[in-house]
Amino acid sequence: MLKREVIEAVGYDLDECLYESDPRINNRIRNRMAQDILTKMPQLDSVEKARGFFEREYVELQSGRKVLMRAGYTAQEAGRCADEAVSQAEILDLLVVDHTVARMLARIAENYKTTFLITSSPEQIALAKLNALGINLVNFRHRIYGDTSGAGHKQEGKAFEYLLSQTGLPSESHVYIGNSRKSDIIPARNAGMQTIAVWNNIPEADLFIPHIHNLEGVLL
Using alpha carbons, select from 95, 94, 154, 156 the residue that is nearest to residue 121: 154
Q: Per-domain residue ranges for the chain?
A: 4-19+95-219, 23-92
The three-class DSSP label of residue 172 is: helix
Q: Is residue 38 scored above 90 in pLDDT?
A: yes
**What are 53-95's pLDDT values in tens digits?**
999 999 999 999 999 999 999 998 998 999 899 998 999 999 9
Q: Is residue 152 scored above 90 in pLDDT?
A: no
What are the CA-CA distances from residue 38 to residues 55, 68, 95, 204, 209 (Å)?
Answer: 14, 10, 28, 34, 36
What are the CA-CA distances from residue 74 to residues 40, 82, 103, 110 (Å)?
Answer: 11, 12, 41, 43
HEC per residue, 24-88: HHHHHHHHHHHHHHHHHCHHHCCHHHHHHHHHHHHHHHCCHHHHHHHCCCCHHHHHHHHHHHHHH
Tell me the average pLDDT across 181-202. 97
Residue type, 203: P
Using alpha carbons, select from 60, 55, 46, 86 the residue that is nearest to residue 182: 86
Distance, in Å, from the CA atom of 2 to the CA atom of 126, rounded to the nearest integer, reads 28
Q: Are 137 and 130 in contact (CB under 8 A)?
A: yes
Whole-number pLDDT of residue 162 = 96
Whole-number pLDDT of residue 131 = 96
**What are 3-36's pLDDT values in tens digits?**
999 999 999 999 999 999 999 999 999 999 999 9
Residue 188 buriedness (CB in 10 A; 0-12 / 13-18 / 19+):
buried
Whole-number pLDDT of residue 63 = 93
Pairing type for strands 194-198 and 207-209 reads parallel
Whole-number pLDDT of residue 155 = 85
Whole-number pLDDT of residue 7 = 98
CA-based diameter of the chain, in Å? 56
Say which CATH superfamily domain 4-19+95-219 falls into.
HAD superfamily/HAD-like (3.40.50.1000)
Write down the mean pLDDT value for the chain: 96
Q: Are 42 and 206 in contact (CB under 8 A)?
A: no
Tell me the average pLDDT across 183-203. 97
Residue 215's pLDDT band, with cuts at 50, 70 and 90, is: very high
